[in-house]
Amino acid sequence: MLDLIIIGAGPAGLAAAIYGKRAELDLAIVEKEAVQGGQIIITNEIDNYPGLPHTGGFELADKFREHAEALGATFTMGEVEKIETTDHVKAYLRDGTILEAKTAIIAGGAKHRNLNVPGEAELTGSGVSYCATCDGAFFRKKTVAVVGGGDVAIGDALFLARLCAKVYVIHRRQEFRAAKTLVTALKAMPNVEFVYDSTVKEIQGDGHVERVVVTNVKTSEESTLEINGIFVAVGMLPETSIYKDIVDLDEAGYIKADETGRTSNPMLFAAGDIRTKALRQVITAAADGANAITSVEAYLNQK
C-alpha cells in the first residue's frame, strides 16, 4: 500500500510530489490530462514566479515535472471518479484501476468559468487571460477589457488601470456585485470606460486578441472595441464534485482547508486552487503542496 496518492499534477501536486519524495514517501501522482502542469501550461508567459522572470508556462511546468521525476516520482494517467476512505484511501480511476494508500492530497485545481464565445479558446494565452495579476504587466500602456462585475473583476480592472492606457469594463448589468468601495475607486480612474448592459459575443484577432464584439442585452445593438487583451473574471469552478460527500466544501464548492491542507477527513488533504483561499497563483499552489506534505507526514507519524 502506498503512503500517498496525489490527485492532480499542477503546481500544487508537483510540489507535493517533490517534497513527498524528499521525505521518502511511497507515492503516486494521478493526472487526467496527457501533459502535466495544470493551468500554467496554457499560459504564454509567467513573469511573477521568483527567480524565473519571463518564463513560459509550459516551460515552468516542465521544470516542475522534471524535478519530481528526478526524485523518483511516477505518474499515472487517469481520471479519479470516486474516492473511498475507510481505514485507508481507495481511489477508483475511470479505466478500472484502483489505487490504495494511507493518505491522499487532492490537488485537482479549479477551472476558470469561460465565456464560451467564438475566439476565446483559440486566443487563450494570446491575449485572452483569466488572471490580471499574472498577465497584466504584459499589457502595460495598451488597451484591454475586463469582463465581469464581482470583486475579482473590479479588482482586476483597478490593477490594470494603473498599468494600461485604457480599460473597458464589460458588465451585463448597470449595478455591480463588487464592494462599493472598489467600484467607487474604479469609477474615479480617468482611463476606465464602462460598457454596461452588455455581454461578449465574440473575441477576434489573427493570432492575438485585436478586438471584441459586444452585444447590448437591452437593445441587441452590437459594437466593436479595439483592444490588445481581454481579462475574463466571471467566476471559478473548483473540481470538487466527487469529493462533496467525503470532505466539507464551502458555499462556492471549494474544499475547506487552511494552509496546512487538512480537511474534515483526516486522511485527505487539499492543496492549490481547489481549496478555500484568497490568492490563487503558481507560488501559492506550490507552497500548498509543500505544506500538505508536512501535514501528511504528521498524520503518518501518528499511526
Give catalytic status of residue 135 as yes or no.
yes
pLDDT tens column, 87-125: 999 999 999 999 999 999 999 998 888 999 999 999 999
Of the residues 177, 201, 232, the one at which a domain ends: 232
* Active-site option among 26, 95, 131, 273: 131
C-alpha cell at 238: 473548483
CATH code of the domain covering residue 181: 3.50.50.60
pTM: 0.76
- State whether 251 and 296 are in the same domain: yes
pLDDT tens column, 192-232: 999 999 999 999 999 999 999 999 999 999 999 999 999 99
53 has a pLDDT exceeding 90: no
Of the residues 200, 232, 264, the one at which a domain ends: 232
- State whether 96 and 240 are in the same domain: yes
Domain boundaries, position 159: 120-232
Calculate the alpha carbon distances from 240 to 62, 106, 108, 150, 177 in Å.
Answer: 25, 9, 8, 22, 25
In this structure, of 33-37, 46-50, 58-62, the range with the lowest mean pLDDT score is 33-37
- State whether 6 and 108 are in the same domain: yes
Give catalytic status of residue 164 as yes or no.
no
Alpha-carbon distance 145 to 104, whole Å? 40
Q: Is 16 helix (H, G, I), strand (E, B) or coil?
A: helix
- State whether 227 and 241 are in the same domain: no
- State whether 48 and 135 are in the same domain: no
pLDDT tens column, 167-190: 999 999 999 988 899 899 999 999
- State whether 145 and 187 are in the same domain: yes
* Active-site option among 135, 156, 273, 288: 135
Give catalytic status of residue 156 as yes or no.
no
Q: With pLDDT > 70 as the criterion, what percentage of the chain qualifies?
A: 99
The residue type found at 220 is S
- State whether 124 and 213 are in the same domain: yes
Total domain count, the chain: 2
pLDDT tens column, 246-292: 999 999 999 999 999 999 999 999 999 999 998 888 999 999 999 99
CB 107 within 8 A of CB 274: yes
- State whether 203 and 142 are in the same domain: yes
pLDDT tens column, 156-165: 999 999 999 9
- State whether 161 and 218 are in the same domain: yes
Longest distance between any two alpha carbons in the chain, whole Å: 65
Q: What is the pLDDT of residue 42?
A: 64
- State whether 104 and 241 are in the same domain: yes
Of the residues 213, 232, 251, the one at which a domain ends: 232
- State whether 262 and 216 are in the same domain: no
- State whether 130 and 30 are in the same domain: no
* Active-site option among 134, 164, 273, 288: 134
